[in-house]
């Protein structure tokens, strides 16, 4: 890592919204630490980001549903030279289905990946920000955090839980000048929507979400954008 640079940590950051967030923070001089499940995606990301922006990127192969792997990643972060400034809990998974008919284990899988991954990573890295009395935590929720929909099943449950986590965390950290923002994107053109017979114009761009995130970070320390809801202009799908 480059000594003196601030550090942005992003979970699940090789594609979609996570990748767009990495790009915008790297463009603004942040070193990056990221995990995902695919070694090839991570190694390619490291080469691209370091070459394009001249910052350092460290990564680890992690399955966000596995507590020991998430905690190993957090321990790696603690040994880096860069100063932790931003934590983006973006790791997540989506399995469609209704509560009564979805595959066995769907709720456990999505709670572990969408909620526990953020919980365990924040419990280790959050105290660093709390002690320094600065920094920003972003939890990438969803419009499913505030809106139930058919075939959303356990995904909606997990995203409602992540929003609750964000709200509690903000109350706990606000007196320490650590800002917490819940980001609630609607339909965004990412790999999750591959194969859907809809025009690109019907979706938001991942870069729109990342620019909104960086704008929230860039506000003065006097202000926190608590919840950021973004939807396609014609409404969610």
Give the domain ranges of the chain.
6-230
In whole angstroms, what is the distance from residue 9 CA to residue 149 CA?
A: 31
The pLDDT of residue 237 is: 79
DSSP 146: T
How far is the C-alpha of 42 from the C-alpha of 140, rounded, in Å?
A: 20
This model's pTM is above 0.75: yes
Task: Give the CATH superfamily of 6-230.
Answer: NAD(P)-binding Rossmann-like Domain (3.40.50.720)
List, for residues 200-232, the tens digit of each pLDDT value: 888 999 999 999 999 999 999 999 999 999 999
Contacts for 46 with CB less than 8 Å, ≥ 6 apart? 57, 58, 59
User: Which pLDDT score, from 0 to 100, does residue 193 have?
Assistant: 66
Say which DSSP state 103 is in. Answer: P
CA distance 189 to 203: 5
CA gap 111, 23 in Å, rounded: 27
Can you list the residues of the chain whose pLDDT is less than 50? Answer: 1
Strand ranges (E), the chain: 6-11, 31-36, 57-61, 83-89, 136-140, 179-185, 227-230
Predicted pLDDT at 195:
66
- pLDDT, residue 163, reads 98
pLDDT given at position 136: 98
pLDDT value of position 1:
46
What is the separation of C-alpha 93 from the centre of its chain, rounded to a whole number of angstroms? 12
DSSP codes of every residue in 185-225? E-SB-SGGGTT--S-GGGSB-HHHHHHHHHHHHHS-TT---
Integer Cα distance of 11 and 3 in angstroms:
22
């Amino acid at each position: 890592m480059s000594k003196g640079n601030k550090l942005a940590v992003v979970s699940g950051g090789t594609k979609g919204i996570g990748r767009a967030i990495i790009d915008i923070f790297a463009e603004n001089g942040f070193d990056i630490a990221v995990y995902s499940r695919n070694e090839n995606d991570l190694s390619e990301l490291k080469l691209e980001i370091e070459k394009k922006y001249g910052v350092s990127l460290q990564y680890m192969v992690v399955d966000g549903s596995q507590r020991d792997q998430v905690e190993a990643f957090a321990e790696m972060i603690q040994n880096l030279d860069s100063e932790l400034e931003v934590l983006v809990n973006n790791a997540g998974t989506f399995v469609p289905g209704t509560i009564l008919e979805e595959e066995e284990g769907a709720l456990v899988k999505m709670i572990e990946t969408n909620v526990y991954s953020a919980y365990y990573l924040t419990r280790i890295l959050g105290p660093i920000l709390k002690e320094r009395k600065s920094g920003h935590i972003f939890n990438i929720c969803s419009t499913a955090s505030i809106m139930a929909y058919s075939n959303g099943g356990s995904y909606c449950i997990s995203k409602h839980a992540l929003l609750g986590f964000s709200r509690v965390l903000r109350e706990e950290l606000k007196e320490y000048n650590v800002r917490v923002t819940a980001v609630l994107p609607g339909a965004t053109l990412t790999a999750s929507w591959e194969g859907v017979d809809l025009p690109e114009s019907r979706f938001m761009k991942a870069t729109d979400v990342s620019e909104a995130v960086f704008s929230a970070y860039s506000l003065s320390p006097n202000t926190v954008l608590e919840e950021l809801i973004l939807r396609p202009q014609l409404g969610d799908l």
